[in-house]
């Protein structure tokens, strides 16, 4: 089974990461055209990997645009995203002094997932865990929404998020849930250094009761505005940035 990644960012990052199987690169136009800029770099990278190139006018690209996708003249036919085994992810954690993970408790919107993956790549997250069922997986839409950032991240897909939280705690990784319930620690007062996994819940329901109970502690983001809560992806990104700052401040020489 193959997938089609579209857009210059997602295609370029997939080629740069080199984690997937690649079948062919589709370019809009004619073979005599001379790609420029990032598109030329994509063609060069594809040729170095011996990926077949196909030029088409209309056809595939017209269908993509009809489906409200903007391919920017390029599409890459690939194998599915290669998930990482959870225990390999935990091994990454064992090899680092202060690993940082993201655990997603049934996030459903591919755009939210893409936003969080961009934040993960920017803030040095070592790996992401998401559930197999009742949640968004790594689809071409997610890769596109992340501008290809997901292609560089180890992502594990698991049957049971609550069991995963237990395994992380067994590996001496503290788990912090993002929550709006009373009793959660204000983000500015929380210690997000050390070995940590940030747990973000569903867009509408937030953290499940059992996931909340299993977390070592929960944090909340104090807000002044009239809107009840931040988007899950934005809120999760804020917490990841705080965890990143906690690591960079301790790494700086005194």
Handedness of CA 164, 127, 12, 71 (dihedral sign): positive
Q: Report in angstroms the alpha-carbon separations of 96 from 73, 174, 217, 227.
A: 41, 14, 22, 39
C-alpha–C-alpha distance, residues 246 and 254, integer Å: 14
Structure-block tokens of residue 178: 């993002």
Domain segments of the chain as ranges: 3-78, 86-251
Same fold, 3-78 and 86-251: no
C-alpha–C-alpha distance, residues 201 and 207, integer Å: 4
Tens-of-pLDDT digits for all 254 residues of the chain?
889 999 999 999 999 999 999 999 999 876 667 778 899 999 999 999 999 999 888 788 888 887 767 778 899 999 999 999 999 999 999 999 999 999 999 888 999 999 999 999 999 999 999 999 888 899 999 999 999 999 999 999 999 999 999 999 999 999 999 987 778 999 999 999 999 999 999 888 888 899 999 999 999 998 876 565 678 899 999 999 999 999 987 555 44
Structure-block tokens of residue 108: 């459903």
Instruction: Name 100's bridge partners.
Output: 196
Q: Are 118 and 151 in contact (CB under 8 A)?
A: no
What ranges make up the beta strands (E) of the chain? 3-6, 22-28, 53-56, 74-78, 100-104, 127-131, 155-158, 174-178, 185-186, 196-200, 217-220
177, with CB counted inside 10 A (0-12, 13-18, 19+), is buried
Instruction: Name 53's bridge partners.
Output: 25
Structure-block tokens of residue 34: 């001379």
Q: Please give the pLDDT value at position 58.
A: 74
The helix/strand/coil state of 141 is helix
CATH topology of domain 86-251: Alpha/beta knot (3.40.1280)
Interior/surface letters 124-158, b for 16+ CB within 10 angstroms, e for the rest: ebbbbbbbeeebbbbbbbbbbbbbbbbbebbbbbb
C-alpha–C-alpha distance, residues 93 and 164, integer Å: 13
How far does the chain reach from its first CA to its final CA, in angstroms? 53
C-alpha–C-alpha distance, residues 216 and 177, integer Å: 8
Q: Please give the pLDDT value at position 227.
A: 60
C-alpha–C-alpha distance, residues 36 and 213, integer Å: 53
Q: Please give the pLDDT value at position 254.
A: 42
The helix/strand/coil state of 112 is helix
Select the CATH number that applies to the domain covering 3-78 from these four: 1.10.3720.10, 3.30.465.10, 3.40.50.2300, 3.30.1330.30.
3.30.1330.30
C-alpha–C-alpha distance, residues 204 and 196, integer Å: 24
Query: Looking at the whole model, is its pTM more than 0.75?
Result: yes
């Amino acid at each position: 089974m193959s997938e089609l990644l579209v857009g210059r960012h997602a295609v370029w990052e997939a080629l740069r990461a080199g984690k997937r199987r690649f079948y062919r690169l589709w370019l809009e136009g004619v073979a005599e055209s001379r790609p420029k800029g990032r598109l030329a770099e994509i063609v060069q990278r594809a040729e170095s990997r011996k990926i077949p190139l196909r030029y088409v006018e209309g056809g595939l690209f017209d269908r993509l645009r009809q489906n409200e996708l903007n391919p920017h003249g390029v599409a890459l036919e690939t194998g599915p995203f290669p998930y990482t085994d959870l225990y390999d992810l935990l091994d990454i954690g064992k090899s680092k002094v202060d690993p940082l993970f993201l655990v997603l408790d049934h996030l459903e919107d591919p755009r939210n997932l893409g936003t969080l993956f961009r934040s993960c790549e920017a803030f040095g997250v070592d790996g992401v865990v998401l559930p197999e069922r009742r949640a968004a997986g790594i689809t071409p839409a997610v890769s596109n929404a992340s501008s290809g950032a997901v292609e560089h991240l180890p992502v594990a897909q698991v049957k049971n998020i609550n069991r995963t939280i237990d395994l992380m705690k067994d590996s001496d990784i503290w788990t912090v849930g993002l929550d709006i319930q009373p009793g959660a620690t204000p983000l500015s007062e929380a210690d997000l250094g050390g070995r940590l996994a940030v747990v973000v819940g569903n867009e509408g329901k937030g953290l499940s009761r059992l996931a909340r109970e299993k977390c070592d502690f929960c944090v909340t983001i104090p807000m002044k505005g009239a809107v009840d809560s931040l988007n899950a992806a934005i809120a999760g990104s804020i917490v990841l940035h705080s965890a990143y700052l906690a690591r960079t401040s301790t790494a700086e020489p005194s």
